A and B are shown apart, each in its own frame.
Chain A
Amino acid sequence: DTAVSQTPKYLVTQMGNDKSIKCEQNLGHDTMYWYKQDSKKFLKIMFSYNNKELIINETVPNRFSPKSPDKAHLNLHINSLELGDSAVYFCASSLRTDFTGELFFGEGSRLTVL
């Protein structure tokens, strides 16, 4: 069983389109995250949710909207995609809210915007 699963794994789309990436964790964790990893491998947090509530929202364009229907799911919707959105997006979860425990990452979703 995959602890943190993301779909799709690959996504190729045109500029201006809207797309979503889904994430589910079966670890019973309360906290979930979205990270963006750019071409230089830099990992930057985008959002953090604790039990369906947003607790971190870094300086991310409002074209990015996370949605958490329940604590096991955190989906990422992106409107009006731009070339600079091309990256690998990682979902992660942790047992604790305060970053004092390990993060469990999904396998990543590679987004390519043409």
Chain B
Amino acid sequence: GQQVMQIPQYQHVQEGEDFTTYCNSSTTLSNIQWYKQRPGGHPVFLIQLVKSGEVKKQKRLTFQFGEAKKNSSLHITATQTTDVGTYFCAGHQGNLIFGKGTKLSVKP
């Protein structure tokens, strides 16, 4: 069935280090969305990428959509303890398919 693969499953970093999570799809996506879920919370929308090769920035977060629209990444520069949570990508293939998420923990 339709799948969006996301890696890594877990990432432990020291505060101030960078963090990247990657999403891959075997089929071309119409768009890709990113969500953040804090521990005990609900997913909150971060951004949507639509165009091939698109790059968007939100402060320390950089989002990329691959040229073939089959992969995407989220990069956080100089992580802070407030970045803790699970980051999900969600690819649009007629339906919105969520990746399994990357759980980020940040050690102060």
Query: Which of B's residues lie within 8 Å of A, judged by CB?
Result: 30-31, 33, 35, 37, 41-45, 48, 50, 86, 88, 92, 94-96, 98, 100-101, 103
Known interface pairs A41-B37, A90-B43, A103-B45; 9 further A-B residue pairs with C-beta atoms within 8 A, sorted by A's residue number: A41-B100, A43-B43, A45-B96, A99-B30, A100-B48, A100-B50, A103-B33, A104-B45, A105-B42
Neighbour of A102 across the interface among B48, B50, B86, B98, CB < 8 A: B48
Given contacts A45-B96, A56-B95, contact A100 B42 (CB under 8 A): no
A-B contact count (CB 8 A): 47
Q: When the two chains form their complex, are residues A108 and B42 in contact, meaning their CB atoms are under 8 A apart?
A: yes
Given contacts A41-B86, A42-B100, A99-B92, contact A105 B33 (CB under 8 A): no
Q: When the two chains form their complex, are residues A100 and B41 in contact, meaning their CB atoms are under 8 A apart?
A: no
Q: When the two chains form their complex, are residues A105 and B92 in contact, meaning their CB atoms are under 8 A apart?
A: no
Interface of B is mostly: strand
**For the complex, is A106 an interface residue (Cβ under 8 Å from B)?**
yes
CA distance A44 to B95 in the complex (A): 11
